[in-house]
Structure 1
Amino acid sequence: MLEIELLQALYPTGQRELEAAALSKVDVDQFYGIEIDEFPARIAETAMWMMDHIMNNRLSLEFGQVFARIPLKAAPHIVHGDALETDWADVLPPEQCSYVFGNPPFLGAKVQSETQRAQVRRIAALGKSGGTLDFVAAWFIKAGEYVSSPRTGDGAGETVEGSRPARIGFVSTNSITQGEQVAQLWPLLFQRYGLEIAFAHRTFGWGSDARGKAHVHVVIIGLTRRDHEPAEKRLFNYEDINGDPDETRHSALSPYLFDASQLADRHLVVRETTTALSSRPLMLFGNMPNDGGHLILSEAEAANAIQADPAIGPYVRQLVGAQDSLNGEARFCLWLQGAPLGLMRANSLLKDRLAAVRAYRSASSRPATQRLAETPSLFGEIRQGAGAFILIPRHSSERRRYVPFGFYRDGEIAHDSCLFMPGASLAEFGVLTSATHMSWLRHIGGRLKSDYRYSIGLVYNPFPWPTLTEADKAYLDGLAQAVLNARAAHPGATLADLYDPDVMPADLRRAHRALDQAVDRLYRKAPFDSDRERVEHLFTLYEKMTAGLLAAPGKAKRRRKA
């Protein structure tokens, strides 16, 4: 079809001098491929012949001539083999290749077989950790090695005179453009193989008519050698992931698939860090019971326990995790820090529960858990302090405009199924729940399937936290409280109800919009037109924050030796 469109451009009024057969230069024997299963390999050959015939008929209609390549003499070169074990240069020497393209398998790191995981780790050669790359990443690395192979000329990376290195284009899961994989994959492509992004389609929904096939979120990425990169890079953005894209053009593209022209280092990636890059409140994992469920009470069990012995009331606390907060569920726990020994010995419920905790921990195969059997009245890991806290679910539906963070005044206990910020203020809640922070999460954080994955090391610690004056804090306090008031104005509605984009109440939308505008102004005076523009601005701030901190490991070692 592309050849027909090109011929239409060359002959807009048609032509009768040349036969259609003389016009068409594309034939099936120009295509080379590798397919691991033999039957699909044969199907691919047949499908290419069929498509060639269909296009020949279309060419005939366009130019008023009958054109059919019969008898079939040319054949596609489909090799039956494992693409990750085959030397691509044996299939087609790289100096004879124009394009490397395809739709490699979509398999996340956790669902790969042992063989597949070993293949990815061998090809990536990331060192001891091995990385957590998706299966598709191996094709990008193999393609980078192929187009940059020294076999294309007399020296490494040189091409035969008059030729140009092959260009790469792959459909991929969007996981390689967000989350922890970006810092693993893209430095290899940029630095090891000297590639640049020539064009990209940002995340869009890709479905299949095949029965049982799920819709997936994918990107399309085109790569070229740096010495042959185009001056303008085309970027296709999908405001509606099931709709048509808008195209923009840029001098540089980031591996997160946004404009990188304002960055000093267009290859900059966000690396996970255990320490925050600027002053901000501490964020922690919640408290881990490690108790076999014996310190946990249902709502009815908590009520009955207090009714039977009111003295234990202060030590029965509401336990909140991600699902509890989202769905309005009530769970309780025995929080026995500071509880009198006499109470724990006299109360039959406590005696039975603590004996069960001791037995559960003692039976563990982990020495650390066995040691916890000595203190059965306490959670296995305790991080809770006094005062208000913000509850952050680790995962949230990608349909939501805002992740529904919870704000708890005091008294509740954060479960380890979530993250939490102890001693938090309303202003800090306002920054976290703002569109600015949400855009950083959407573009930089990882995904679980298509859901957002919130991470302390990858999302929170690297986030460019704004500098807040006392006046800023007071103003944000009021706007954040307005969000909480709007939530409370709908009794009986859970956070899942309130943040469902189809039914989100208008007053809650207005409260969030006002908060968004206030937080945006902390970063710049001019409003942002889109989430992508927000994260592009945040990325320039991240680059300034990390200047001198993210040197390549080899360079860092040389500086230490000096």
Structure 2
Amino acid sequence: MEKEQSAELAMLFSGVKNAGNLDYVTGWYKKAAEYIQGTQIECAFVSTNSICQGQQVPILWPNLFARGVHINFAHQTFKWSNEARGNAAVYCIIVGFSLRNRTEKQLFLYDDIKGEPKAQTVKWINAYLADAQHVFIDSRSSVLDTQTNPMVFGSMPNDGGNLIIEENEYASFLQQEPEAERYIRPFLGAEEFINNKKRYCLWLLNAEPQHLKKCPLIVARLQKVREHRGGSNREATRKLAQTPSLFGEIRQPESGHYLLVPSTSSERRKYIPIGFMNSSDISSNANLLVPNATLYEFGVLTSQMHMAWMRTVCGRLEMRYRYSAQIVYNNFPWPDISEEQKAAIMQKAQAVLDARAQFPDSSLADLYDPNTMPPVLTKAHAALDSAVDKLYRKAPFPDDAARVALLFELYGKKTEALLTGKRKRGRG
């Protein structure tokens, strides 16, 4: 009977490979979990990787686990080229599950850097396809550790391109209007930051009106900003026409340093290139920022510990990492440290920046390409990784899977402590 049911199930769900959207894929998983109730049937899907990433995990998987489902084997994200016209690529996972909980499970860990899987026998496979107990990383609007500075998007011009000065315009613009130099700042999207491309913007916050009147090219651009915003079909944008000299959304810190995290980064890199930036460099909303950051925050976030967390819980654009404040940063379990430990991390973080500075003509894309990463930078990162690892435990971590398992455990403890605190305050 079970063989017949298994065959019927395979036929029923054979269409999953043609799933056109996420709702359709998750529906097959839910239907399979319902179908196998009261049986020993084991089933598996090759499906889009999104269901085990980001915000989708706490939506789908608690429902499946509540039905008694156990993941018994899985393969992390891989690229599958099919026979469609143009040899279209789909980014897939394989998930095998049943109501029977195997004591030994098979997990194929995919190494983004090497581009190959590695089979492991594990005791746990959670919804993120990690060797760790079940936790669900919900979207969080504020940081889990309240002593940590919040992460925000960069500033958005909403200007029709009129506050932006491209590299090929820069020299001509200044030649015609030298008075404008005081208002021109480097403007960094993710593309410019990673690839060392030049782009500029007019940053007119607190600009003196009498100075602006001496800059007819600026005034002409502001008129175009006003017209662009005034013609919008969105009321909020039309209101911005009243202040054409300002970006539509301003989140740039006015002083000090900030961390710049590109929203999207290549999966080939061992580390997301994170910037420790001066406030005079304006970041666009293609990046995420941590204002008023120190070298300590830079050191922890650019470490292998944080990268392992990011790779596990983030969403992806195809295979590329999509960094999210709500999922990745706000839920990251920071270690409890002493001032002495903090100083040591800051010293090693500075060594990473110093190593980068030795190659002023190389972009971050060059520096963090696994084939061209300079040995001095590799060595600096390794020292930083070791120091950050020791903030979490004394024994070395054998691999990223062990790092992630500990971070999930720590996340569970920290969230439970938050809930306990809320219950106590409620009773009070």
Question: Does the CA contact (< 8 Å) of 2:179 and 2:215 recur in 1?
Answer: no
**1:337 counterpart = 2:208:** no
Separation in structure 2 between the aligned mates of residue 247 and residue 416 of structure 1, nearest angstrom: 40
1:195 equivalenced with 2:69 (yes/no): yes
Q: CA deviation at 1:476?
A: 1.8
Matches within 5 A, 1:228-239: 228-239=100-111
Cα displacement (A) at 1:300:
4.5
Match of 1:70 in 2: none
2-structure distance, mates of 1:304, 1:359: 24
1:440 maps to 2:334: no
| Distance in 1, Cα, partners of 2:91 & 2:271 | 20
TM-superposition CA deviations, 1:342-377 (whole Å, max 9, x none): 112232112101111111111011111111111111
Task: Show structure 2 runs of 5+ residues with no match.
Answer: none
For residue 137 of structure 2, the aligned residue among 270, 288, 299 is 270
Instruction: For residue 294 of structure 1, report the CA deviation from its aligned partner.
Output: 0.6
Corresponding residue for residue 140 of structure 1: 29
Aligned-partner SS, 2:311? helix
Q: 1:473 to 1:222 in 2, by over 3 A?
A: same
SS in 1 for 2:213: helix
Show the counterpart of 2:51: 176
> Aligned to 1:248, what secondary structure does the other structure show?
strand
The 1:350–1:211 alpha-carbon spacing in structure 2 relative to 1, beyond 3 Å, is: closer
User: What is the one-letter code of the residue matched to 1:105?
Assistant: K
Please name the residue that 1:32 is paired with.
Answer: 8
Amino acid at match of 2:108: F
Work out whether 1:405 is the aligned partner of 2:280.
Answer: no
**Structure-2 residue corresponding to 1:515:** 384
Superposed, 1:127-526 pairs within 5 Å as: 133=22, 135-148=24-37, 159=38, 164-191=39-66, 193-208=67-82, 212-225=86-99, 228-239=100-111, 243=116, 245-250=118-123, 252-260=124-132, 266-278=133-145, 279-385=147-253, 386-526=255-395
**TM-superposed deviation, 1:236:** 3.3
> Where does the alignment leave 5 or more consecutive residues of structure 1 unmatched?
1-26, 35-77, 84-100, 113-132, 149-158, 261-265
Q: What is the match of residue 16 of structure 2?
A: 104
Report which structure shows greater RCO (CA 8 Å, sep ≥6). Answer: 2
Amino acid at match of 1:184: I
State the one-letter code of the partner of 1:325.
F
Distance change >3 Å, CA 475–CA 106, structure 1 → 2: farther
CA distance in 2, matches of 1:548, 1:519: 23
Q: Could you tell me how far 1:391 is from its partner in structure 2?
A: 1.1
Structure 1 distance, partners of 2:28, 2:426, is 36
Question: How much does 1:466 deviate?
Answer: 2.1
The answer as to 2:403 corresponding to 1:534 is yes
Aligned partner of residue 17 in structure 2, secondary structure: coil
Amino acid corresponding to residue 127 of structure 2 in structure 1: P
Distance 2:283 2:309 in 1: 24
The answer (yes or no) to whether the contact 1:147–1:165 under 8 Å persists in 2 is yes
Which whole-Å deviations, capped at 9, do the CAs of 1:68-90 have from their partners, x for residues lacking one? xxxxxxxxxx6xxxx5xxxxxxx
Shift in Å at residue 417 of structure 1? 1.2
Structure 1's 215 and 431: CA in aligned 2 closer, same or farther, altered over 3 A? same
Alignment of 1:59-74 (within 5 A): none
Deviates more, 1:498-507 or 1:214-223: 214-223
Q: Give the deviation of 1:550 after TM superposition.
A: 7.0
Q: After superposition, what is the alpha-carbon deviation per residue over 1:397-435, rounded to whole angstroms, capped at 9, x for unaligned?
A: 111111111222231111111111122212211111100
The question of whether the paired residues in 2 share the 8 Å contact of 1:171 and 1:218 is answered with yes
Amino acid at match of 1:505: P
Question: Contact (CA 8 Å) 1:483, 1:512: kept in 2 or not?
Answer: yes
SS in 2 for 1:105: helix
1:230 Cα deviation from its structure 2 partner = 2.8
What's the Cα RMSD here?
A: 2.8
What amino acid is aligned across from residue 315 of structure 1 in structure 2? Y
Query: Does the 8 Å CA contact 2:180/2:218 hold for their aligned counterparts?
Result: no
Superposed CA offset, 1:153-187 (max 9, x none): xxxxxx4xxxx442222222332222111111101
CA–CA distance in 1 between the matches of 2:91 and 2:384? Answer: 30
Moved more, 297-306 or 386-395: 297-306
CA distance in 2, matches of 1:298, 1:317: 12
Q: In structure 2, how many angstroms separate the alpha carbons of the residues matched to 1:488 and 1:548?
A: 42
Cα pair 2:104 2:121 within 8 Å, conserved: no
Q: The residue matched to 1:392 in structure 2 has which SS?
A: strand
1: CA distance, partners of 2:168 / 2:309: 41
CA distance in 2, matches of 1:480, 1:102: 50
Classify 1:30/1:537 alpha carbon distance in 2 versus 1 (closer, same or farther; 3 Å): closer
- 1:178-222: CA deviation from partner (whole Å, max 9, x where unpaired): 21111111011012x221222223334444577633454433222
The whole-number CA distance in structure 2 between the counterparts of 1:479 and 1:363 is: 51
Counterpart amino acid of 1:292? G
Report the 3-state secondary structure (helix = DSSP H, G, I; strand = E; otherwise coil) of the residue aligned with 1:291.
coil
- Partner SS, residue 416 of structure 2: coil
Task: Name the aligned partner's letter for residue 141 of structure 2.
Answer: T
Q: Aligned partners of 1:396, 1:142: CA distance in 2, in Å?
A: 35
Alpha-carbon contact 1:306-1:312 (below 8 Å) kept: yes
For 1:377 and 1:29, locate their aligned partners in 2 and report how far apart those are by CA, in whole Å: 67
Aligned mates of 2:219, 2:7 — CA distance in 1: 75
CA shift for structure 1 position 549: 5.3
> In structure 2, the residue corresponding to 1:356 is in which secondary structure?
helix
Query: What is the DSSP-based 3-state SS (H/G/I as helix, E as strand, rest coil) of the residue aligned with 1:237?
Result: strand
* 8 Å Cα contact 1:190-1:267 kept in structure 2: no
- Inter-partner Cα distance in structure 2 for 1:33 and 1:304: 68
- Aligned pairs, number: 422
Cα shift at 1:238: 4.1
- 2-side partners of 1:371 and 1:354: how far apart? 15
CA distance in 2, matches of 1:208, 1:410: 47
- The CA distance in 2 between the partners of 1:507 and 1:518, in whole Å, is 17
Aligned partners of 2:161, 2:89: CA distance in 1, in Å? 37
Structure (1 or 2) with the larger CA radius of gyration = 1
Indicate the SS of the match to 1:419: strand
Partners of 2:283 and 2:243 lie apart in 1 by: 20
